[in-house]
Amino acid sequence: MTRTLYSGTRNASSWAFRAWLALREAGVPFDEVVVDIRKPQRFANLAKIAEFSPPGAVPVLVDGGTVIYDSLAIMEYANDLSGGQLLPKDLKARAHARSLTAWQHAGLSGLCPGLSFESSFYPDRRSMSDSEISESRRIFSVWEQELSQSNGPYLLGDLSLADLCFVPTVLRLTSNLPSLKSWPLTLAWTRTLLARPAVKEWLAEASTLPPVWPDD
């Protein structure tokens, strides 16, 4: 195998999770090297990644002599390798799917940087702030509208990159705000996503690891 994904610690690397999911759901064969990004070893490990990838971060996909070092670029590449099965065929629907993935890639209106992926695996979680709760509800409403328009079971009908890019966020939010009864379509969607075999495989390993605590 000449295609290798350098991913990250399962309970601390949401971006690697997205890239890995896209490759798996697209049926793309690849080898995986899990890079331990926990401190203090993260600095030496990422320095090695920086020897062949400019950002010095994970995920990185090396396919032959080509280095792809952004999670969204890897997801798009997985879609291309699969013949386009993870994006809608319709031009406008495809652009809409990319709008959703770009929104997540930009931090989802600032929600994700403050509510870490690592915290999804903490035995005890801090209470969400009022602003985080308000923003979470707004995001649930967006998802509910998307699912209403597509008739589900996924955001654009069939499984797409738009769904996969939100999986770590779904885990974050459902870990902190488990009741989604006001958004029944979103509730069904989150359950469907988290029940996918690839998602369960990643999370099963993540749940066995010691928590990765914040620096402060």
> Who wins on pLDDT, 93 or 111?
93
Measured distance CA(14)–CA(1) in Å, rounded: 25
Q: What is the pTM of this model?
A: 0.94
Contacting residues for 146 by C-beta, under 8 A, at least 6 apart: 100, 155, 156
Indicate whether 151 and 173 sit together in one domain: yes
Indicate whether 47 and 133 sit together in one domain: no
Indicate whether 148 and 196 sit together in one domain: yes
Indicate whether 105 and 76 sit together in one domain: no
165 class by beta-carbon count within 10 Å (0-12 exposed, 13-18 middle, 19+ buried): buried
Indicate whether 39 and 110 sit together in one domain: no
Measured distance CA(161)–CA(99) in Å, rounded: 11
Token code pair at residue 136: 């979470």
Indicate whether 79 and 107 sit together in one domain: no
> How does pLDDT run across 141-193, given as a tens digit for each residue?
999 999 999 999 999 999 999 999 999 999 988 888 768 999 999 999 999 99
The domain boundary residue, chosen from 57, 84, 111 = 84
Indicate whether 156 and 106 sit together in one domain: yes
Measured distance CA(42)–CA(206) in Å, rounded: 17
What b/e sequence results for 91-128 when a residue is b if at least 16 CB atoms lie within 10 Å of its CB, and e otherwise? eebbebbbebbebbbeebeebbeebbbbbbbeeeeeeb
- The CATH number of residue 120's host domain is 1.20.1050.10
Asked whether residue 20 is assigned to any structural domain, the reply reads: yes
- The CATH number of residue 13's host domain is 3.40.30.10
Q: Cα angle vertex 17, ends 174, 30, to 5°?
A: 150
Indicate whether 95 and 151 sit together in one domain: yes
Indicate whether 100 and 78 sit together in one domain: no
Domain span at 46: 3-84
Measured distance CA(69)–CA(89) in Å, rounded: 26
| Enclosing H/E stretch for 67 | strand 66-68
> How does pLDDT run across 5-22, given as a tens digit for each residue?
999 999 999 999 999 999
Measured distance CA(146)–CA(157) in Å, rounded: 9
DSSP state of 187: H
Indicate whether 70 and 113 sit together in one domain: no
The domain boundary residue, chosen from 84, 119, 154 = 84
The domain boundary residue, chosen from 25, 55, 84 = 84
Asked whether residue 164 is assigned to any structural domain, the reply reads: yes
Indicate whether 55 and 116 sit together in one domain: no
Asked whether residue 212 is assigned to any structural domain, the reply reads: no
Asked whether residue 167 is assigned to any structural domain, the reply reads: yes
Measured distance CA(119)–CA(214) in Å, rounded: 9
186, 180 in Cβ contact below 8 A? yes
What is the total count of domains within the chain? 2
Indicate whether 73 and 146 sit together in one domain: no
> How does pLDDT run across 111-138, given as a tens digit for each residue?
766 788 998 999 887 888 888 888 889 9
Indicate the residue type of 120. Answer: S
Q: What is the mean pLDDT of residues 47-69?
A: 97
Share of the chain above pLDDT 90, in %: 77
Asked whether residue 182 is assigned to any structural domain, the reply reads: yes
Closest Cα partner for 8 from 43, 33, 39? 33
